[in-house]
Structure 1
Amino acid sequence: MFLEQFRLDGKVALVTGGSRGLGLEAALALKEAGAKVAVLARRASFFEEAKRHLGEALYLEGDVRDEGRLLQVVDQVEQELGPLAILVNAAGVTWGAPSWEIPVEKVREVLEVNLVGAFLASRAAAQRM
């Protein structure tokens, strides 16, 4: 009874980075709550695991650093699933090394994906919400 108030039946959710890790867990939870789920990942090969666990969903390839692609993704999500109601920014990269060994280019890449990408995805989605 208590969980019924958290149902998302008919709501449309987009999860960036939703093909694996925490993003996939978020996508699974949204689907379990009744949402129609779209998953965005940088490479189509990333969808193999998601498809095994998530099953039916809208799988879209794209990079969160590409604002034009994000606008296309939001358009496609709305055309195929309906009005976008939920965005989960789970796309992210990391560089596994001590800080004194990380090349500055990798730090910039992490910031571009994890910070700027989340901003761009939020902006693309917010225009429709």
Structure 2
Amino acid sequence: MQKELFNIENKVAFITGGGRGLGRQIAEAYASSGCHIAVCSRHLDQCEETAQYLEEKYGVKAKGYSCNIQSENEVNELVNQILSDFGQIDILVNNSGATWGAPVEEMPLEAWEKVMNVNLTGMFLVTKAVGKQMIERRSGKIINIGSVAGIKAEPPEVLNAIGYSTSKAAVHHFTKDLARKWARHQIYVNAIAPGFFPSKMTKHVLAERGEEIKKHNPLGRIGDDHALMGAALYFASPASDFVTGQVLAVDGGSTL
């Protein structure tokens, strides 16, 4: 029973920002379950290295692609290429993200716009392109990567990135709204809101305040390389077939 509930063998997952960090962790969780993997980011070398690693370790088909998800033309071309290479996309993980740390009164407009364009517009463009074939097939799992920053307001000493926080709150509502719109097509849309994990985005904050952040976390720690995998597998698999429009915080209890 458990194996059937979490079975994604021979499914195809497309993960944006999948060449490193949390995206790569999710890609590995899926590949270890027999799922074929397409990963993209602006850094083709990272995506190709990740794809090669997954193919060699787990024996699945995996390919890396380069894409600027802020460009509708590039997104549409990429999705068509993935469909040509794999035949279908069963699971979409919108993981690409950007941030910019600065006090509100000093944040440049271009910084705000960059964060919004990647975290929201890019997610919209990818979801729109992938969603069309999911609607045709009347099947699909979409997992958006939000953040606890979009659930609670942190003091500026911990997180001073209002564009990022605002965009992630919008990701959560996008998830709920789209889940309502596409439920009729048998497409499930859920979100994961990670707490603090080691990543390029959090490197500076954790270096300066990591011990204090751990001290205020109910579980007394930050996320590790495996903490997100279970939630990602749950939302991608039949185990979540009666769950849509939900935002799951994977944060050690920091939003309590």
Q: Under a length normalisation based on structure 1, what TM-score does the superposition of the two structures give?
A: 0.88
Q: Which amino acid is the alignment partner of residue 64 of structure 1? A: I
Matched position secondary structure for 1:10 = coil
Alignment of 1:11-90 (within 5 A): 11-47=11-47, 50-51=50-51, 53-55=53-55, 57-90=62-95
CA contact (8 A) 2:100 2:111 kept: yes
Q: Indicate yes or no: 2:121 matched with 1:116.
A: yes
Distance 1:54 1:119 in 2: 27
CA RMSD, aligned part only? Answer: 1.9
Q: Deviations over 1:23-59 (max 9, x none)?
A: 1111111111211100011122333663575345210
Identity %: 39
Q: Indicate yes or no: 2:105 matched with 1:94.
A: no
Give the structure with higher Rg (CA): 2
Structure 1 residue 81: deviation in Å?
Answer: 1.4
Work out the number of aligned pairs and report it: 129
Q: Under a length normalisation based on structure 2, what TM-score does the superposition of the two structures give?
A: 0.47
Structure 1 residue 76: deviation in Å?
Answer: 1.2
Structure 1 residue 83: deviation in Å?
Answer: 1.0
Query: Any stretches of 5+ residues in structure 1 without a counterpart?
Result: none
Closer, same or farther: CA 102–3 of 1 in aligned 2, 3 Å: farther
Matched position secondary structure for 1:84 = coil
